[in-house]
Amino acid sequence: MPEEKRRLTKCKAEEAAGMSTAKSEIDMEKVPGTLEESVQLEVGETTQVDVLGKKTNIPHDKGYKRVLKNRRVLLHMLRKYTDFEWVKDVREEDIEFEDKEFITEYFHTYESDLICRIRRGEQEIYLFLLMELQSGMDFTMPFRLLVYMVNLWEQYFRNVSEDERERKIFRLPMVVPMVLYNGKESWTALRRFRDYLRDGNMFGEYGVNFEYALIDVRRLKEDLILNSNTVIDNIFYLDRAKEKEGFLHAVEEMMDRVAELPADEKNLLETWFAQVLEGRFGEKEQEFIRECFRKGEKKMISGFEQIVNEERENARQEGIEQGIEQGTAFERDHGIQVLVESFREFGQTAESAVRKLMEKYWLSTEQAQDYVKRYWPAD
């Protein structure tokens, strides 16, 4: 990318509504000019914010991303949980992942996305999977996806030689947008871009339009999930659980299924499992659940309840002790206030109040003077 172009890109990003990130600013000078050179960023456990105020919860997303970068797992998910007819004859070796994070000048942020190039004979398809995990509804989704798709096409176009792209038979690759969502509320954001446009239906085929695929994990039917046994099936089954106890019941119920998984899928599930526990349970609870999971123990509910009860009792005792300390401190401060106000009311000097406080409450001169200043306002 020419130097002037880099500077313009950087300026546009900085001007985009004062966007900030929770970890560090991205150096747009390093943004490359081709899809193959797209920015590689290590995904940390941070929450990022883009120009639309969209927050990305990285740890949970990272677990899903690692699982879905297994070709066998991704292909199973596409065949089972979407209505993509074209994936039926796709083979694992036809899938090539773009091992990058996708960044645009409009959304100056990390995004939890997965981009893969799929070959079907002479055809080339890009699957753009955006992960909306442990997050609220994003009603800007049609526009976000349009920006990513156009940006991807632009980079692809730039990477083709001028002679090639000016040929009559030149075509851009198909980009299939898809969203994976596991929020508590049903997904109600618009799916068709035309519906996101004001009076978009008025113009029929002359208006820009596309529709993205959606997997709404918590609305998947249990029978559908359980009719096959892969790592992604079991993850979807666990991710449907809304509360701690429901999650643990789901873990117990799937123990026999997990035992039948291939070794590589077991490892993927354990990685996802560990990262999800961090967001839902305390350290002692996590340790107990991991141990039960590794041993394949099914009776974790009773043991977990015992841990929870112990933690509640400890918290109650800590609360009582803290309350006593706070009560004692309050009574002490109240006594100091009464003493200072009494000295003032009966015509005593501030200096005598300081000496009395030092004597009665074992305060330093500075501490006593501070109390007198607080409760003996200037006339």
312, HSE (Cβ side, Cα atoms, 13 Å): 6
Q: Mark which of 219, 236, 271 sits at the end of a domain.
A: 219
Domain identity same for 214 and 311: no
* 37: pLDDT strictly greater than 60: no
Q: Is residue 274 part of a domain?
A: no
The pLDDT tens digits of the residues spanning 205-231 come to 899 999 999 999 999 999 999 999 999
Question: 166 in helix, strand or coil?
Answer: coil
Q: Do residues 155 and 59 share a domain?
A: yes
Listed in sequence order, the residues at least 6 apart from 341 whose beta carbon sits closer than 8 Å to its beta carbon are 375, 376
CA 110 – CA 340 distance, rounded (Å): 57
The residue out of 176, 191, 219 marking a domain boundary is 219
Its domain, for residue 133, covers 3-219
Q: Is residue 252 part of a domain?
A: no
The answer to the question of residue 335 being in a domain is: yes
Report whether pLDDT(237) > 70.
yes
pLDDT in tens, 300-359: 555 555 555 565 556 556 655 565 556 667 777 888 888 888 888 777 888 888 888 887
pLDDT digits (tens, 9 = 90+) for 55-113: 444 556 678 988 999 999 999 999 999 999 999 999 999 999 986 555 555 544 445 68
Q: Is residue 268 part of a domain?
A: no
Given 219, 239, 255, the domain boundary residue is 219
Query: How many whole angstroms separate alpha carbon 217 and alpha carbon 236?
Result: 6
How far is the C-alpha of 288 from the C-alpha of 268, rounded, in Å? 20
* Residue 351: strand, helix, or coil: helix
Residues 78 and 177 in one domain: yes
Contact of 159 with 36, CB cutoff 8 Å: yes
Q: Within a domain: residue 68?
A: yes
Does the pTM surpass 0.75? The reply is no
Q: Residues 191, 332: one domain?
A: no
Q: How many domains does the chain have?
A: 2
